[in-house]
Amino acid sequence: MDDTKENPVENVPSEINENKSGPIFESVPAEELKPEEVASEVTNPVSEVSAQIPDEPPAVMYEQNRSKYFIIGGSILFFIIMLFVIFRFLAGPKGPPQEVKLTYWGLWEDSQVLDPIIQDYQRKNPHVKIEYTKMAPQDYRDKLLVRSKNGQGPDIFRFHNTWIPEIRDVVTQIPSSVMSNAEFEKTFYKIHQTDLKVGSAYYGLPLYIDGLVLIYNDSLFKKAGVSTVPANWDDLTDVVTKLTVKNQEGILVTSGIALGLASNVEHFSDILGLMLIQNGSSIKNLDQVEAAGALESFRKFAEPPNVFWDESMGNSITAFAQEKVAIMFAPSWEILVIKSLNPDIDLKVAPLPTVPGGNQVSIANYWAEGVSKYSKNQIEAWKFLRYLVEKDTMTKLYELETKLNHFGEPYSRVDLGNLLIQDQYVGPVIKQANSYVSVPVISRTYDKGLNDEIIQYLENAVNETTEGVSYAGAFQTAKQGVDQVLQKYEIK
């Protein structure tokens, strides 16, 4: 055996031994070492590695946390899905809207006027079907109230501008989602705002505006040498004197104006209501001196010594159509009646006369559209009415009416007024639009209620003065009845 191999340390070059920086351990034969010495002096490589590797429990903890997050996330997702399913169930399946049928009661428009408008709306809203019926005006209000309460009334109906106190059990307010108060007030005239508002809500949408105007026969004016339409009551009296023609026996041939009686003057109560207001009184104050003065002014046109009008002239509308009277006061729709009786009449229209130095005033007389509180489809009904008062719809409606008549109903929208203000028939209506007031004395509403009951007391008062009762005395008696009517309908 080579000695160098048996003792390798001794054979290391001396320069290496000399430069070695640490003790040089002597080799000990393995067989001389005890097991416990080996265990204590020899480093266990597994222990060193184990000291650097994390214990197993943290790995297990991580797996547990991750599983917990999965469970929480899954629960949230399940909850969201369930909410979506419930919402879809409550909302119902998407699809075409459920069909809605609306019944619409009108009064004056023929179906051939409204049908094209209704058809346009139904094309845009195929789920809505509208059935329009033109009702007879007689007993209309009673039918509206009774049938509505019995479940047989209309969804949509027409009513007079004075009727809200007597149909309060049927009308319902306009939803703000269909038209806000601000939009209503921006769209329509002041008289509409006054008539159709109760408390803080509006209860109808007006399709037009109308009221008393002065209607005159221009041929008779020219024949009498009258070139100017009277602007106030003083001028009116002078003009009427020139226009009145009597024969040698003093019998009227041509009347200057149809005024002074209740028996044969159409709209006498409207006119008397106008004169009460112009004279500083009202229907609520018939016991005032101003009220008696208004009645006297009304009656003087049929009293001596002038007698510009009497019973021999017959009905005022018929007499005007026969060119037996030069001036009358009536709402604009009476022009259509006159034209139907005499298509060739040279008829013209002007605003009403004012009290000298006073402001323009006229009596409103129009109808509006409402929705029944008994309707099961109130929102859809109001949406249709909202469509009717749109600018494009309203102008089309006027065109359709004009095809059948000489003119249509004057626009209720303020922003359409300029289209009609120069019209020979309805221009004066628009010129007076900001001067209308409402009084429940309107003829031919056929309400058998507020208007008709008050009119009866006014007619009695006028007739009493023809029999010698004083103006103040006649109105004193009328006041007792009128006050009862106002109390009955809770009008203060």
* pLDDT, tens digit only, all 492 positions of the chain: 444 333 433 333 443 333 333 433 344 443 443 444 433 444 444 344 344 444 444 544 545 555 555 566 666 766 677 666 465 555 555 556 789 999 999 999 999 999 999 999 999 999 999 999 999 999 999 999 999 999 999 999 999 999 999 999 999 999 999 999 999 999 999 999 999 999 999 999 999 999 999 999 999 999 999 999 999 999 999 999 999 999 999 999 999 999 999 999 999 999 999 999 999 999 999 999 999 999 999 999 999 999 999 999 999 999 999 999 999 999 999 999 999 999 999 999 999 999 999 999 999 999 999 999 999 999 999 999 999 999 999 999 999 999 999 999 999 999 999 999 999 999 999 999 999 999 999 999 999 999 999 999 999 999 999 999 999 999 999 999 999 999 999 998
Q: What is the structure's pLDDT at 10?
A: 39
Helix (H, G, I), strand (E, B) or coil at 101: strand
Task: State which H helix or E strand residue 291 sits in.
Answer: helix 289-299
Residues 132, 118: contact at Cβ < 8 Å? yes
pLDDT at 33: 39
- What domains does the chain contain, in order, with CATH numbers? 100-210+368-431 (3.40.190.10), 212-363+449-488 (3.40.190.10)
pLDDT at 441: 98
**Torsion angles phi and psi, residue 173, rounded to 5:** -80, 155
| Predicted local distance difference test score (pLDDT) of residue 97 | 73
Q: Are 178 and 382 in contact (CB under 8 A)?
A: yes
Rounded Cα–Cα distance for residues 42 and 284 (Å) = 125
- Tell which residue, 298, 430, 457, 440, has the closest CA to residue 363: 440
Beta strands in 387-446 (DSSP E): 436-437
Contact between residue 227 and residue 221 where contact means Cβ atoms under 8 Å apart:
yes
Distance, CA of 348 to chain centre: 33
The per-residue b/e assignment along 280-309, b for 16 or more CB within 10 angstroms, e otherwise, is: ebbbbebebeebbbbbbbbbbbbbeeebbb
Give kind and range of the element (H or E) at residue 47: helix 45-52
Is 4 exposed, middle or buried, given 0-12, 13-18 or 19+ CB atoms closer than 10 A? exposed
- The pLDDT assigned to 80 comes to 72
Tokens of 367: 């109808």
Alpha carbon distance 293, 326 (integer Å): 25
How many contiguous H segments (helices) and E segments (strands) does the chain have?
Answer: 20, 14
From residue 359, alpha-carbon distances to 192, 220, 270, 353, 429 in Å are 20, 28, 18, 10, 16
pLDDT at residue 50, as a whole number: 42
Q: What is the pTM of this model?
A: 0.80
- Output the six-digit token pair for 384: 């249709």
